[in-house]
Structure 1
Amino acid sequence: MPIDDAMPVRLEVAGTDLGDAATFIADLYGADLQVEDAAVPFEFRYAALGDATMSLHTARFAGHLAGALPPSDAVIVQWLQSGSSRLDTGGDVLTMEPGVPVPLMPDRTFSFEMDDYEQRLVHLSRTVVERVAAEQGADVSAGLRFDHSVPPSEQSVRTWHNTVSLISHTLRDGSPGRLLHAEMARLAAASLLEMYPQQRPAPVEAVHAARSAHVRAAVEYVHENARTPITTSSLARHLDISLRALQEAFQRDLRSTPNAFIRQVRLDRVRQELLASEPAATTVREVAAGWGFAHLGRFAQQYQVAFGEGPKVTLDRTTRAPGGG
């Protein structure tokens, strides 16, 4: 049964019974747990506020907790405030540093071991994070991928904490409307992706095929700025070469025109965003317009030629996927 994204998440649990705490966490996350008392009297607290699109969580566990977290529909971002935590991310064991957020990929099981910890977590809808990543030009056709081996920059971590603080104050001041809550979820997703950028579609083939430095620069510029109103003329001005020289270089190196190349890159980005979007919340027209396609009929024809299916078929894939809601 599909979960209503607007269904409120609001809970607060506290206690001193180790068994009750273990049962609560296991039920909440579907995790297999092993628990032990700490040297100090046991104490447990857990609170959450938000909805299925985005919720903020705090947890305190005065003891030893270990187990495995199964795959989830949410992207869970967690960071320590005190205590210790080790995560097995599927190969490398990651020792968490206080204050540094770590996202868990929704399609992978994580094992963990934590001691006398206090942590905060943000649960974000996977769909929201994928949609924002696709809008930024990332390739999410194979799902989200967070590289835990590359520490996030100090600036991006500060931005994350500032973002979460703003969202927390807004939620605690009252229940924001659905539109505001959705925008805050997108803001959190954007902040997460600043810390852990997704891989952009690499223009490897085009770059390797380009013998001209101008064509290589043009290829990279188009991939980085595909959402902006680039034209062949503006691209030539950016590269400080004549329009004719640019056209000749593209024809010689890529057997294409600059305009056709720009169009194909934008079509690729539209496809990535459609694959990451919810059909009930998105239209082909909106996505196409966001990537500069003003004429829907002409766009649909170009999309059909490029991918062998219409854009509406691509968007509807999530409703036809096995196990889809």
Structure 2
Amino acid sequence: MNASAADDSRMRTLVRSDDLDETREMISTAYSPYELRALNRPQDFSAWYAEGGFPGVTLSALSYGTETLVAPEPLTTYLLVCQVHKGRVRVESPGREEQFVGTGDTYVLDPQRRFKVFWGAGARMTTIRLSKELVDRAAGEALGREEPVRARFALGGPVSAAAAESWSGISAAVHREIMAGGLAHTNPLVAAQLTQAAAATLMATHRLLPGSEPVRHIGNVAHPAVRRAIQLIEERSDQPLTLSDLAAAARLSPRALQEAFQRYVGRTPLAYLREVRLDRAHRDLVAADADGPVTVAEIAFRWGFSNLGRFANWYRRRYGHAPSVTLRA
């Protein structure tokens, strides 16, 4: 799809403004809270945002008139597959990856990571939004698992030229269905089939990070408040979380949450959080190149362990050796 096609009347314009604060408020509502700054010639700032879709898929189109920084909070419940139709953007995942994306190229915004996107003046892109739940199911199927897998994506585009062609084909089908007002708008079966095909093609064409893992089953935890706290831990373990944060998510007092966790999980909420972080640090250490730039300290800090001595002790108790041994293996 070329950039001008996104102006089709079936895309509903939600923002057309030269007011930065108004734009930030409107697009934060559509996506997630985010930082928005004009990096050059703020007097030339302008923004356009439009969207359309059918059940299971939202297609959005965006452009900025001057050099602009967009830094959203983690998306958590969905991911975005972004395609640049005009100009150039630079995408950073702080401390991890950087990619320059030109006209015609795509990249994936992983729902659990923070990103900064630096837009060139006049750049325009479209995004296909898919739910995290749908993508996790597709990841499980792609990896031959019976259960969903928490899909974590590398920043880069399709893994090969053939993969790029395949993704381009399903992306074009989604665009056409939305722009033409096709059957997916009114036929749930068609919408579900096309949405599932998009998720399956995403799995086959883009690189999953080694940290992708089976979704932990919490169905055997009967207490709904504990389930809510566990869900927050599973989705945001790489972010600062306190007992108060978990209690707020659970809708209990901190003391009541502590008691419920001990009864239903057999450990405290913060002990459970530490176990999840240790698991994910271990997976990153296993996946890391011993001769590469990644260090034990960097991985520990990534997963919220600010005291390296305590991290090493917890890691040794859980895995039987120091984290540096895993990194060198």
TM-score, normalised on structure 1?
A: 0.55
Q: For residues 183 and 315 of structure 1, what CA distance do their matches in structure 2 show? A: 32
Does 2:82 match 1:78?
yes
2:104 corresponds to: 99
**What is the Cα deviation at residue 59 of structure 1?**
1.0
Letter in 2 for 1:191: T
- Structure 2: how far apart are the matches of 1:79 and 1:180? 24
CA, structure 1 residues 151+315, in 2 after alignment: closer, same or farther (shift >3 Å)?
farther
Paired residue for 1:162, among 169, 176, 182? 169
Question: Which residue of the other structure, out of 38, 44, 52, is the alignment partner of 1:35?
Answer: 38
CA distance in 1, matches of 2:225, 2:189: 24
Aligned AA (2:74) = P
Amino acid at match of 1:152: V
Alignment partners' CA distance in 2, 1:88 and 1:312: 33
> Where does structure 2 lack aligned partners over 5 or more consecutive residues?
1-9, 232-248, 250-329
Would the aligned equivalents of 1:26 and 1:33 in 2 still touch at CA under 8 Å?
no
> SS state of the match for residue 63, structure 1?
coil
The one-letter amino acid paired with 1:82 is K
Do the aligned partners of residues 190 and 44 (structure 1) sit closer, same or farther apart at CA in structure 2, a change above 3 Å counting?
same
Q: Work out whether residues 22 and 35 of structure 1, in 8 Å CA contact, stay in contact via their aligned partners in 2.
A: no
State the alpha-carbon separation in 1 of the partners of residues 52 and 34 from structure 2.
Answer: 21
Kindly provide the amino acid, as one letter, of the partner of residue 154 in structure 1.
Answer: A
Q: 1:63/1:201 Cα in 2 relative to 1: closer, same or farther (>3 Å)?
A: closer
| Residue among 186, 191, 202 paired with 1:176 | 186
In structure 1, what is the equivalent of residue 150 of structure 2?
143
Aligned counterpart for 1:119 among listed residues 98, 122, 125: 125
Runs (4+) off by over 6 Å: 139-142, 199-202, 314-320
Deviation at 1:184, TM superposition (A): 1.3
Which residue is equivalent to 1:68?
71
Structure 2 contact 14–50 (Cα < 8 Å) conserved: yes
1:322 counterpart letter in structure 2? R
Q: Quote the RMSD (CA, aligned, Å).
A: 3.8
Q: Contact 2:52 / 2:58 at 8 angstroms: preserved in 1?
A: yes
Pair 1:183–1:151, CA change in 2 (3 A)? closer
Alignment TM-score, normalising by the size of structure 2:
0.55
Go from structure 1 to structure 2 and tell me whether the alpha carbon gap of 1:182 and 1:64 turns closer, same or farther (over 3 Å shift): same
Contact 1:170 1:176 in 2 (8 A): no
What is the CA–CA distance in structure 2 between the aligned matches of 1:80 and 1:315, rounded to whole Å? 44
One-letter identity of the residue aligned with 1:101: T
Residue in structure 2 matched with residue 108 of structure 1 by the alignment: 113
Separation in 1 of the partners of 2:210 and 2:175? Answer: 31
**Gaps spanning 5+ residues in structure 1: where?**
1-8, 203-270, 277-310
Q: Is the 8 A contact 2:81 2:108 kept in 1?
A: yes
What is the CA-CA distance between 1:121 and the residue it aligns to? Answer: 0.5
Code of the aligned partner of 1:55: T
Please name the residue that 2:61 is paired with.
58
